[in-house]
Amino acid sequence: MRSPRAARLGLLAACACTWLLAAQGCGPGPGYGARPRTRRLTPLALRQHVPGVSETNLGASGRAEGKITRHSERFNELVCNYNPDIDFKDEEKTKADRLMTKRCKDCLNKLAIAVMNQWPGVRLRVTEAWDEDDNHPSGSLHYEGRAVDITTSDRDIKKYGLLAQLAVEAGFDWVHYESKYHVHCSVKADHSVAVEKGGCFSASGLVTVAGGLQKPMTCLQPGDTVLALSVSGEVVFSRVLLFLHLDTDSRSTFMILSTEDGQEIALTPNHLIFMSQKHKVHHHEYSACFASQVKRGDYVLVSGRDGGLRPSRIVSVSLEERTGVYAPLTEHGNLFVDGVLASSYASINDHRLAHWAFGPLRFFFGLTQLFVGQTTLTVDRQSGAVSPAVYPTYSSPSKGHMDVVHNSSGVVHSTGSCLNRHSHLQYSDSVDGTNVRVHWYARLLRTIGQMVLHPQMFYA
């Protein structure tokens, strides 16, 4: 006879599978049996580049990291592209035009499919990729295998404007309709977190925990309760369920958004933040958008000292590279980081859809409430007092690990080391013997989403 525990786990698995199938069959997007929605592509004009910044800008492909030669250690970072649907010029007969970074290869292969779909019988043609013969200016990304020059196999120059737009759609980080005879495309370095991983906050980001203390992301762990916003607009403490993305060592490009009230939040360009173009009082008038879309003069929501919520105008937007990325998922799907309200989600432009898709995970954690109790807190706006609610218990960190927390003035309230605190988090997969840095469930949802949702919903 099946044990009650096994029955509960079976029910949970069935519910999760049903939820995921519903997401594919009748959720947002075309679903089964429907044709993908088409949209009109606008060709790039000659000399136009996307995005509208220089190639080595942090918002595009990023700075050059040094020339790669056949005798350098970094040569092993390059991969050979043998895609039969791509014509490689390879006039040197050294296969140099087939050598590129993994990200460049992935984008190129996507573009090859788009070209064949757009012009049946026509294939993508690569005239230049990795350069080992010093044919480009110093600092060119061709020397690192991060850039390609492309045409179509029929060499019809009338197609190149649209070819450039297809390259943008394929995920290249910088596309330049450089000449009427070719299109230049480049990508970020493979180790850049912003390339193909989730959106995150920086390691220095502070969250508010019970008692008004602030804890850095490096010390946050599942089971902690952090300041967030409820559906009704009440400021509450929401439990951290897990980390959707966690990498203490990787460097990434962050948007630094500064408000008129002195808050400054750092998050990756593809992370969602709640914003309004005009001064609005009510929280429901703020919509989630990618951080890269926020500009000076826009308004975000910040937490007040009285436990309330108020709008604050963005006075500065900048880019900065930092080390360490953290993406905690809370029960409410949002949290205040450095006093600014942001979503727990990234890469897709619909916060509500993302929160709905993570329903099975919240359901799983909700089940644990039936068996083990832990208290979480809500905030009283008038008195600042907190009241308890029941939630599951999590084991405390190992001996020797102490929280580093700060009060609202930034003064260290208690000290200790949080190094390797997150080594206690368990991931389902590993790469090269280390923990996978993006949670498996987030990977699963992204895979499903790419099959059923329109490409425009994802961060390009």
Residue 1: is its pLDDT beyond 60? Answer: no
**pLDDT classification of 376: cutoffs 50, 70, 90:** very low
Question: What is the pLDDT at residue 7?
Answer: 44
Q: What tokens does 60 get? A: 């595009």
- Listed range (85-99, 239-253, 333-347, 397-411) with the worst mean pLDDT: 397-411
According to the model, what pLDDT value does residue 27 have? 32
Check residues 199 and 357 and name the one with the higher pLDDT: 357
Which element (helix H / strand E) includes 300?
strand 299-303
Query: Does the pLDDT value for residue 222 go beyond 80?
Result: yes
- Check pLDDT > 70 for residue 182: yes
Per-residue pLDDT tens digits for 434-456 = 344 678 888 788 778 877 887 77
Residue 144 banded pLDDT, cuts 50, 70, 90? very high
Q: What is the pLDDT of residue 218?
A: 93
Please tell me the predicted confidence (pLDDT) of residue 393.
35
Find, among 188, 186, 332, 196, the residue nearest to 270 by Cα: 196
What is the radius of gyration, based on Cα positions, of the chain? 24
Lowest mean pLDDT among 64-78, 186-200, 323-337, 374-388: 374-388
The residue that leads in pLDDT, 288 or 211, is 288
Question: Which has the minimum average pLDDT: 116-120, 155-159, 351-355, 408-412?
Answer: 408-412
Distance CA 335, CA 265 (A): 12
431 or 210: which carries more pLDDT confidence?
210
> From the CB of residue 447, how many other CB atoms can be counted at a distance below 10 Å?
9
Ranges 118-122, 164-168, 430-434: which has the least confidence: 430-434
Contact 315, 259 (CB under 8 A): yes
431 pLDDT more than 50: no
State the burial class of residue 402 (Cβ atoms within 10 Å of its Cβ: 0-12, 13-18, 19+). Answer: middle
Mean pLDDT within 297-314: 91
Contact assessment for residue 260 and residue 302, using Cβ atoms and an 8 Å cutoff: no
Selected residue with higher pLDDT from 409 and 245: 245
Q: Which residue has the tokens 């405390």?
A: 396
DSSP state of 36: P
Is residue 18 scored above 80 in pLDDT?
no
**More confident position, 379 or 458:** 458
Average pLDDT score over residue span 246-266: 90
- pLDDT at 184 > cutoff 80: yes
**For residue 49, what are its two tokens?**
């580049």
Say what the pLDDT of residue 278 is: 94
pLDDT(121) > 50: yes
User: Residue 372's pLDDT band (boundaries 50, 70, 90)?
Assistant: low
pTM of the model: 0.58
Tokens of residue 425, six digits: 């988090």
pLDDT value at residue 439: 82
Report, as an integer, the average pLDDT of 322-334: 93
Distances (CA, A) of 251 to 128, 194, 258, 460: 28, 9, 21, 19
What is the per-residue pLDDT for 191? 67
Name the band, by pLDDT with cuts 50, 70 and 90, for residue 308: confident
For residue 4, the one-letter residue type is: P
Q: What is the pLDDT of residue 152?
A: 97
The mean-pLDDT minimum among 51-60, 266-275, 413-422 falls in 413-422
Average of per-residue pLDDT across 40-53: 91
Mean pLDDT across the stretch 334-348? 95
Comparing C-alpha atoms, which of 329, 324, 103 is closest to residue 111?
103
